[in-house]
Amino acid sequence: MPTPIVAADCPTCLDPPGEAEVLARLPGPAKSPVLNVKVERKGVSIVVEKISQQVDATKVFPLAGPCQLVHCHYKATVTFDEVSSADRPIPFHHTRHRVEVVFLNKDHLRRAGGPAPAAKGAGDEIGRKIEVRECKLLREYSNILRRKRRSLQESVDVLNSEMGRLNRQLDELNRELEPLEDAIEPEAVPKTSGVDSSRYFPFAIGAFW
C-alpha cells in the first residue's frame, strides 16, 4: 500500500462549509394556506466545527490517478431571530429566537504516491511542486463538482417553488369559480308527455266507433 504524500499547503480538510451552504440546509418556515405570512431571519450567527474526518484507502480514480477520498464531517450551530409578519387578513408581528444545528459532510480527493525520500534535492523540489499542483487541480475539480450539485439543487428548488405557485393560483381560481357555479341555475329539462294515440292512429279509433 503506497504511503500518502500530502503537500504542505494542502490540508486534510480543504475548506469548511460557508454561510450560504449552511443556510441552504436549514428547514424552511412553515407556510399557512390562509394567512399571507412573511418570514425573515435576522441577526444570523453561525459557528462551524469539525467533528470527525475519515480517510479511505488509496484507489486509482480516472483522470486523477492514485488518490485517497477524505470525508470531513462538520457541525454548524445557527442562531438567529425569526421574524414573522403579515398585513392581511389579520395584521401581526412576531419575533422568536431560534437555534438550529446542521450537520454537513464534505468529501474531496487527496493525492497519494510513494514514500518521500529523506534527502531533499532539486528533483525533490520539482516533485513537491508537482504534488502541490496536483493537489490544487484536485481541489478545483472538487469545487466544480460541488458547484454543479448546487446548481442542480437550485434548479429543483425553483421548479418546486413554481409548482407551488401554480397550485396556489389553481386553488384561487377554484374558490372564485365555486360561487359562480352555485349561482347558475340548471337548465330546464323538458317534460316528456304521454303519446297521443289518436294523433298517430285516427283511422283505428274511427273504425272502432
Place of cell 470527525: 52
The pLDDT, as a whole number, for residue 47 is 92
The pLDDT, as a whole number, for residue 117 is 44
Could you tell me the three cell numbers for 26? 436549514
DSSP 63: T
Examine residue 184 and state whether it is found in any structural domain, yes or no.
Answer: no
The pLDDT, as a whole number, for residue 203 is 52
Examine residue 35 and state whether it is found in any structural domain, yes or no.
Answer: yes
What domain range includes position 78? 19-117+125-173
Number of domains the chain is built from: 1
Examine residue 137 and state whether it is found in any structural domain, yes or no.
Answer: yes
Examine residue 57 and state whether it is found in any structural domain, yes or no.
Answer: yes
Residue 96 contacts residue 56 (beta carbons within 8 Å): no
Q: How far is CA 4 from the centre of its chain?
A: 36
Examine residue 96 and state whether it is found in any structural domain, yes or no.
Answer: yes
Per-residue burial over 122-148, b if 16 or more Cβ lie within 10 Å, else e, is eeeeebeeebeebbeebbeebeeeeee
The pLDDT, as a whole number, for residue 205 is 47
Among the listed residues 99, 81, 102, the one whose alpha carbon sits nearest the alpha carbon of residue 25? 102
Examine residue 59 and state whether it is found in any structural domain, yes or no.
Answer: yes
pLDDT tens digits, 169-185: 888 888 888 777 777 75
pTM, full prediction: 0.45
The pLDDT, as a whole number, for residue 33 is 61
Low-confidence ranges of the chain (pLDDT < 70): 1-11, 30-35, 113-125, 127, 185-209
Examine residue 146 and state whether it is found in any structural domain, yes or no.
Answer: yes
